[in-house]
Amino acid sequence: MIQTNSGLRSLVQSLRPITSSLSEIAAYSCYTSQAASALQQVSRPDSYSEDEYAKVDWDNLRFGITPADYMYTMKCSSDGKFEQGQLAPYGNVELSPSAAVLNYGQGLYEGTKAYRTEDGRLLLFRLDQNATRMKMGADRLCMACPSIYQIIDAVKQTALANKRWTPPRGKGTLYIRPLLMGSGPILGLAPAPEYTFLIYASPVGNYFKEGLKPLNLYVEDEFHRATRGGAGGVKSITNYAPVLKAMARAKSRGFSDVLYLDSANKKNLEEVSSCNIFLVKGNIISSPATSGTILPGVTRRSIIEIALDHGYQVEERAIPLDELMDADEVFCTGTAVGVAPVGTITYQDRRVEYNVGEESVSQKLYSILEGIKTGVIEDKKGWTIEIQ
């Protein structure tokens, strides 16, 4: 039995304010068909380097900022319409000291990646999901937002312009960061009069310093990542600085990251600082329902769909802490982290170890997902986009 009622209800509720996005998704589906292949032909700046790869030590690549050549910028004014964007060399942006993003945190971001195949092709993964989530977040924060079509096209242009910064297969990925911010000046608390959408990119390796080794998480019962009625379910920039205190404290004690509990009762799992969490017990895979305080991750959704395809029972529901301590296996998912196995979790004075290794469920699901992303496994779901 697949328990997805609570997650489905929350998804339906979150989509109601932005029903126009559904028509955009349909339009994008048409755009990806053979009948609308024109958008695949992305214009490129005349000054592109002809080098196949940038001069990077791919064998020692970490998750950090190594700016790729180009960034993409697009603006809109009070009419809410975004003008034609353009690529330009990576560099600083100019903002008014009274910009809404600086004063009131009116900003959103997304994260996606470009993957290089064995034969050198460039693939992007489920961009429609990222674009839809940005539209949902913009609605929550009262921001004008580019259309799904514009977001996808902008990411494609940015990825293609920075192709030489995409690592060889198996060495890393090109992390792509779309950012939407209230760039217009405002003094009183109100939506910004102008918005800027920009994208930059950087080649990255593994997110955690442990690399592919299992993580050691600490359950946080003092600080909280999100509260009911807040913005925990969207990628608001304001969700992330508040977790730094708990992260720093945990890392000073030797832990990889922090797992947060619900703020209301402090008994149900929420998510890790920047990724979703899954539990495995027998043939059942469980993940906390995305009911407003938990981000609906693209990798999370993909892992759920792959697990269902391969015969696992999947439950999206409230998960009490006791179940975590009794699980066979635990793993995290996210665009930045990929699929990361958890070796141990510590709560107060209790430490629990979990199954890891080549035969683990997380490793099997990870192999399938990465195979699709990199073209090793045939993409039967239409998740990937090849750009040329």
Residues that are catalytic? 235
Which helix H or strand E contains 182, and what residues bound it? strand 173-182
Per-residue burial over 252-264, b = 16 or more CB atoms within 10 Å of its CB, e = otherwise: eeebbbbbbbbbe
Eight-class DSSP state of 189: S
Lookup: tokens for 180 = 């939407």
Return the residue matching tokens 């060495």. Answer: 171
Tokens describing residue 311: 């015969």
d(CA 341, CA 144): 38
How are beta strands 215-220 and 173-182 bridged, if at all?
unpaired
CB 125 within 8 A of CB 383: yes
SS3 209: coil
A 10 A CB-CB count for 164 gives 18
How far apart, in whole angstroms, are the C-alpha atoms of residue 92 and residue 88?
11
